[in-house]
Amino acid sequence: MRLLSLALEGLWWRRATSVMLLVVAACTAAAAAAAPSYAASASDAVLRAAVARAPTGGDGTGIEVLALQSGAVSTSALESAVHDAFTGAAGTAYPRAVLQLSAVQRPAVQRPGGVQRIALDSRSGLCGELRVLEGSCVSETDRTGVVVERAVARALHLAVGAKVAVAPFRGGRPIPLHVRGIAVRRDAAAPYWFGSTPDVGQVTLAAWTPASYFSAFRVEPVDGVTASAELALDRSVVHVDTAGPMLKAVGAAVRRLQDGGATSRPDVTSALERVVQSGTAAGSRLMLPIVVVIAELLALGWYLLHALVSGSVEGRGAEVALSKVRGMSASGTLVLVLLEPALLLGAAIPLGVLLAAAGERWLAPAVLGAGVDIRIGWLSWAAALVAAAGGLIAAAAASAAVLRRPVLEQWRRTSRAGSRRSAVVEIVLVALAAAGITQLELSGSLAAGSGGGIAILAPMLLIVAGALVASRLVVLLARLGFGPTRGTGAVSAFVGLRQLARRPAGRRTFGVLVVAVAMAAYGVSSAAVLAQNRDERALTDVGAATVLHIAPDPRTDARIRSVDPTGRALTGVAQADIGLASDYSGFGTAPSANGSPSVLVVDPRTFGAVAYWRDDFGSATLPALLKPLSAAAPRIAVITGTRMTLSITTPHDPGLLGLAADLTDIRGAPITARLGVLKRGTEDYTADVKGCAGGCRLRRIYLTRPIDQIGALVIDFTIRSVHVTGAGSSAQPTLDGIGWSPLNPTPVGSITAAEKVTAEPDGLRIAVSVVGAPSETAPGFGVVAGTGPHPPALVAAHLTGGSSDATVQTPDGDAFQVQRHGVVEVLPRAGDAGVVLARDWVEAASPSGYSHLLENQIWVGRDAPSGIVDRLRAAGVRVLSVETAADRASTLASTGPAFATPFTVAGGAAAVLLAVAAVVLGITLLARRRVFELSAMRALGIRTRSLRGSLLVEQGALIVTATVFGLVLAVAGVQLALPALPAYVDDPAYPAFLVHQPLGTLVGVGAAIAALLLVAVAATAVVLERRTSVGALREAEQ
């Protein structure tokens, strides 16, 4: 008790030192305590972000249970099975199921360009989730009523009361469906909708019916009627510590569901496990950087504690001597000396944990996002305890020399220099660090793009080794200054340099400063480099600063040009995912980091100015690379009018042959013009083409035979001209330069040889030889327009192919040859697996029409004026969603590796604070000796100004040199390790990681740190100076 009381009295007596020690210890404990909680919180945030980003449906975090219906159509069996499986499964976080009956049927009557499929869904609780805009929701008894989503209704021009008939499942009369209402979803992002989006395509009408629609049927599995239960995850309950049990519980529930059902085994689809594992893995990638930063901070903290306690104990040498003189045992003396730091370290544990909790709660919303739970668990307490224990060991180590020192030496203050021993330790440390870096280099961990987190060790090793070497170097530099400053009258410089060179404590402080500056600069530089690369990656992913997803409209291009006549801010793009196509022969299928390959159909004149491009993406600028794509496309025959006339010469009697022409309107809808029966001689054949007032593309001209015409037929005819009249007609089309080719390029069915197509002076001559009856595979013979040279393509590196020609096939089914004109590493938005084609060329080459060529995106360039999106909307562009590079960058910033960056910066800031403490300590702990020296010099007549100057020279040289070394080490560390560190969760091979360090900012940071340290020095020096007097000589003498 007596010793405890003495310790408390001592703490109060030396309160300045006590406070300093407490602050350093608390900072060290806080750093340690912050690591586990930050890692846990950040991991949690990463997991939750991964879960939030994942689709809500069965391809994401939802569970879709699908049962093919047979017999009576009903959800009841499935509902019961799902209920039995999931009820009581603790932790499954699937609060409710949405039951749905689905069937895809065909319209009873196909209309050109109209609906090709009708997806009918009956969803439980539907009307509660809809906001009906017109008409009403469907009632359960209204088995022929449907509700159509507004976007679908607009796209298909449906109104309340419209009727659509669908073919029944197996024969019978068509079933009329009546549009009862037009509605929008109350919350399209709600779990209820299971990630489904409005279907605005032109091929499928998605409509909601009551369950009674289905109850009227008995079906067979081949009818494809399904009952499904959609279980949307309650994402709010997903946390790192609950994810594992939740997955187990879900797995068990799914097994129960699949094994226990009396009915057929349902299909269960969910990517929950993949999503959670991906999120958990991403979170775990945080650990190494955090551990490294904490290790560095702990090392600094312990070092400072060691210095602080050793200085403090050194100052209490008289007490130690007194204790020995009084006959106190070694243990008693140890307790007397260490009780004070032990008490402070003990107090630092809760204080550090509190600091960590407060700091994290303050920073978490900004760094980890809102709603992140900061939990200070036992690990944080344990880490703080370890930090304090390390501090105590450092204190004990620091005390050991004083405790071992004989009393007489204590009195005489003739401490033995341990410089030789410390030099050996430093050499060993530098050698170990060099060996570590070499090993990392040899193992490939430092190779750019290796993505190995272990590379984070390299900067730490480099900084430690560099600091040790630099601390020796600074002494040599100071010694070099002795000569020039000796005898020149520059007392300040001479004394300052001597202090710097002779004081081991100054060298230690220098080491601390180098490490702190390096840590802070590394944090700032790595944050800047990562942010820049994140922006680059985001722009590459999105393709441009902003991409608007729009409802396809043939007038989009005109609207874009009305808003942006120069073509520098906006460009229309049609993007199609070709990854799902079964065949795109000609291109290799090397796995792409970007997932499915894409076809970007662009206007090459504007695309190059708007799309994001970086020099290393290709061998030239994007406009230069797109130049071959700007070459004039083959002409196409455009019919603009409502009546079309063909002039044809038939030299021989053709028999009974029908003449027809196929056109596609601007939406891609097919139009067939029946021009009558072919006659001998030169005749005009006319047909109405009312859908072509806005322009149609003439695609085929062909002859058809009656089905009973089975004899041989040899005929040739010449198409002399085409003429258009009626509404919209102005310029007359020409058949020249279209690139006509045979309708049947190879013999097929009754056609014994391919049609011969030759361009004659008087027109296009077609010769045909046919034997046998007409067949379904070759219903006619004639010519097809639009095949000319293959469209030039700009291809990303991953789509490698041997030949320069290749076939591209889109999900629409169009397949056409392209000519590779350029290969680039990365394409904006398409990544390393994509093809860019010019719209004109694709229009000319595409056999089926325009549908996939209508722009579904508008890209907005970085330099676009503000408000341009609003102007597009005002011009009539229907924007479905907006995707920005900034949002993408924000998403990337919430991935695992990115979360380590703020921690690194915070670690650097903490290190700077510790450095300030080190500087103050460096001065105050030696204050007594300094006071003696300064007083002696003052007694010798050296002016106060010179004494101040000497301190300034010493500390200024120390700080400035340490700052320079720290900055250099940080820059080297970033250059060494950052390219090898994982920057994103998915880490694609593109765009190449750039290390453009913000040298200006780093110099600013260094200057700010140096200024802060100099202020601390000045404040400490003022206090010190007040104690400097000739009288202090006597005190020091004693």
Partner 1 sequence: MSVLVDVEQAVCIHRTADSEVVALRGADLLVEEGELVALVGPSGSGKSTLMALLAGLLRPSAGQVRVLGRDVARATEREALLHRSQDIGMLMQGPERNLLPYATVRANVELAQLAARAPRRERHRRAAELLEAVGMGSASSRRAGTLSGGEQQRVALAAALATGPRLLLADEPTSQLDRENAAGIARLLRTARDRWGTTVLVVTHDAELGDAMDRRLTMRDGRIGTEARSGEQYAVIGRDGTVQLPADVADRFPAGGRARVVRRPGHIELHPLTDEPGKRS
β-strand 638-639 against 696-704: which pairing, if any?
antiparallel
Of the pair 325, 707, the CB lying nearest partner 1 is at 325
Sign of CA dihedral 105, 108, 109, 114: negative
Position among 12, 487, 615, 776 found at the interface with partner 1 (CB under 8 A): 12
Position among 55, 91, 168, 332 found at the interface with partner 1 (CB under 8 A): 332
Cα gap 455→982, rounded to integer Å: 9
Query: How many chain residues are in contact with partner 1, going by CB under 8 A?
Result: 29
Burial of residue 1000, with CB atoms counted within 10 A of its CB: 0-12 exposed, 13-18 middle, 19 or more buried? exposed
342 near partner 1, rule: CB under 8 A: no
Among all chains, which residue has been given the structure tokens 């307790």?
335
Phi, psi of 814 (to 5 degrees): -75, 135
Shortest Å distance, C-beta 325 to partner 1: 5
Shortest Å distance, C-beta 1035 to partner 1: 10
Of the pair 165, 335, the CB lying nearest partner 1 is at 335
900 near partner 1, rule: CB under 8 A: no
For residue 478, give both structure tokens: 């100071």
Cα gap 525→957, rounded to integer Å: 24
Position among 5, 566, 746, 803 found at the interface with partner 1 (CB under 8 A): 5
Beta strands in 678-762 (DSSP E): 681-688, 696-704, 713-725, 741-742, 756-760
For residue 242, give both structure tokens: 């609950």
322 near partner 1, rule: CB under 8 A: yes
Cβ-proximal residues to 121 (8 Å cutoff; 6+ apart), any chain: 100, 101, 102, 206, 207, 208, 209
Of the pair 102, 323, the CB lying nearest partner 1 is at 323
DSSP 8-state assignment for residue 751 = B
414 near partner 1, rule: CB under 8 A: yes
324 near partner 1, rule: CB under 8 A: yes
- Nearest CA to 793 out of 834, 761, 742, 734 is that of 834
406 near partner 1, rule: CB under 8 A: yes
- Nearest CA to 885 out of 593, 614, 607, 535 is that of 535
Shortest Å distance, C-beta 10 to partner 1: 5
Shortest Å distance, C-beta 421 to partner 1: 13
β-strand 145-149 against 792-796: which pairing, if any?
unpaired
Shortest Å distance, C-beta 419 to partner 1: 11
For residue 721, give both structure tokens: 């001209």
326 near partner 1, rule: CB under 8 A: yes
220 near partner 1, rule: CB under 8 A: no
CB 499, CB 954: distance < 8 Å: yes
331 near partner 1, rule: CB under 8 A: no
Cα gap 670→658, rounded to integer Å: 19
By CB under 8 A, which span of 269-277, 400-408, 657-665, 696-704 interacts with partner 1? 400-408
13 near partner 1, rule: CB under 8 A: yes
Cα gap 426→423, rounded to integer Å: 5
Position among 257, 282, 313, 321 found at the interface with partner 1 (CB under 8 A): 321
Of the pair 90, 417, the CB lying nearest partner 1 is at 417
Site string for partner 1, 14-53 (x = CB under 8 A): x---------------------------------------
Of the pair 162, 407, the CB lying nearest partner 1 is at 407
Shortest Å distance, C-beta 437 to partner 1: 36
Cα gap 722→648, rounded to integer Å: 9
Shortest Å distance, C-beta 342 to partner 1: 17
Of the pair 405, 829, the CB lying nearest partner 1 is at 405
Of the pair 59, 319, the CB lying nearest partner 1 is at 319
328 near partner 1, rule: CB under 8 A: yes
CB 469, CB 430: distance < 8 Å: yes
Shortest Å distance, C-beta 9 to partner 1: 5
Position among 128, 171, 327, 591 found at the interface with partner 1 (CB under 8 A): 327
Shortest Å distance, C-beta 508 to partner 1: 21
Position among 411, 489, 684, 707 found at the interface with partner 1 (CB under 8 A): 411
Helix (H, G, I), strand (E, B) or coil at 646: strand
405 near partner 1, rule: CB under 8 A: no
Of the pair 87, 331, the CB lying nearest partner 1 is at 331
Position among 329, 438, 619, 621 found at the interface with partner 1 (CB under 8 A): 329
Shortest Å distance, C-beta 6 to partner 1: 6
β-strand 763-770 against 681-688: which pairing, if any?
unpaired
CB 474, CB 964: distance < 8 Å: no
Shortest Å distance, C-beta 510 to partner 1: 25
Cα gap 773→751, rounded to integer Å: 9
CB 733, CB 643: distance < 8 Å: no
Cβ-proximal residues to 751 (8 Å cutoff; 6+ apart), any chain: 744, 768, 769, 770, 778, 781
By CB under 8 A, which span of 7-15, 52-60, 543-551, 621-629 interacts with partner 1? 7-15
Position among 366, 417, 632, 940 found at the interface with partner 1 (CB under 8 A): 417
Q: Cis check for the bond before 991: say yes or no (omega within 30 of 0).
A: yes
Of the pair 167, 328, the CB lying nearest partner 1 is at 328
- Nearest CA to 897 out of 286, 372, 456, 448 is that of 286
Of the pair 2, 157, the CB lying nearest partner 1 is at 2
β-strand 145-149 against 175-185: which pairing, if any?
parallel
By CB under 8 A, which span of 408-416, 480-488, 660-668, 817-825 interacts with partner 1? 408-416
Burial of residue 688, with CB atoms counted within 10 A of its CB: 0-12 exposed, 13-18 middle, 19 or more buried? middle
For residue 605, give both structure tokens: 């004149």
Q: Tell me the β-bridge partners of 745.
A: none
343 near partner 1, rule: CB under 8 A: no
419 near partner 1, rule: CB under 8 A: no
Using CB under 8 A, list all residues that contact partner 1. Answer: 2-3, 5-6, 9-10, 12-14, 318-319, 321-329, 332, 406-408, 411, 414, 416-417, 1038
